[in-house]
Amino acid sequence: MLRIQSFTVGPLAENPYLLACTETGQAILIDPGAEAEMLQQAVIDAGVTLTAIVLTHAHLDHIGAVEPLRHWAKVPVYLHAADDWLLAGAVMQGRMFGFPVEPVAPAEHKLAHGDRFSFGKIELEVLHTPGHSPGSVCLYASADKALIAGDTLFYRSVGRTDILGGNAQTLIQSIEQRLWPLPDDVRAYPGHGPETTIGEEKQLNPFVGLHASWGR
């Protein structure tokens, strides 16, 4: 079974997630954006073995604790290739947002649409959902009806598309083509704010829901 632990870190209130396979104790860390020591302690307290750090995209608020955690846990980092430039531009992003950032080394592995990503007995499917950034992905655990949504879909909102490679039309298309076909009772765990479900957002999301007019 998949166990999902959520955290909120940093000045932009970003949500990292610790995903663990309850049978094997293997786990992955999603989007460690800040507060490396707190996240490290959380992994220790959970009693799990980290096998990878997976990034939904490479905006600054999702990558701030990648370097210390990848060295501490000795695990590789996964990212969609279309966001490599953002990871390489971590220091530039820091200047834009007004806080100093250390350089981040490139991701060891690439995520591509349709990839199956496994840890323990858990399998995630990679859904490429560009729009908030070119290399944004969501991670779908069909057996556990869970979606790690990154900054693509939020509770009653969507990721902004006016910064660093964003595009509103692309975002709408990604959500309509890759998220709305998922079952209504899939729980979505976003990069900011509270959890929601696919069914609720399909009905009620004011930007991309079935009754929304934004961008059309």
Q: What residue ranges bind Zn ion (CB under 5 A)?
A: 59, 61, 151, 191
**Nearer Cβ to Zn ion (8/24):** 8
Instruction: Name which of 48 and 126 has its Cβ closer to Zn ion.
Output: 126
Specify the amino acid at residue 191: G
CA 73 → CA 29, 44, 202, distances in Å?
Answer: 10, 10, 38
Nearer to Zn ion, 48 or 201 (CB): 201
SS3 content of the chain, % helix, strand, coil (to 5): 30, 30, 45
Residue nearest to Zn ion (CB): 59
Q: How far is the CB of 59 from Zn ion (least distance, A)?
A: 3
* Shortest Å distance, C-beta 168 to Zn ion: 14
CB of residue 109 vs Zn ion: minimum separation in angstroms?
20
Toward Zn ion, which CB reaches closer, 105 or 163? 163
Q: Which residues pair with 50 in a beta bridge?
A: 27
**d(Cα 161, Cα 152) in Å, to the nearest integer?**
10
What is the smallest separation between the CB atom of 17 and Zn ion, expressed in angstroms? 13
Give whole-number Cα distances, 41 to 4, 22, 47, in Å: 16, 19, 10
| Closer Cβ to Zn ion, 16 or 191, answer by number | 191
Q: DSSP letters along 126-142, please?
A: EEE-TTSSTT-EEEEEG
In whole angstroms, the minimum distance from the beta carbon of 67 to Zn ion comes to 18
Q: Are 36 and 14 in contact (CB under 8 A)?
A: no
C-alpha–C-alpha distance, residues 187 and 189, integer Å: 7
Nearer to Zn ion, 97 or 180 (CB): 97
Q: How far is the CB of 86 from Zn ion (least distance, A)?
A: 9
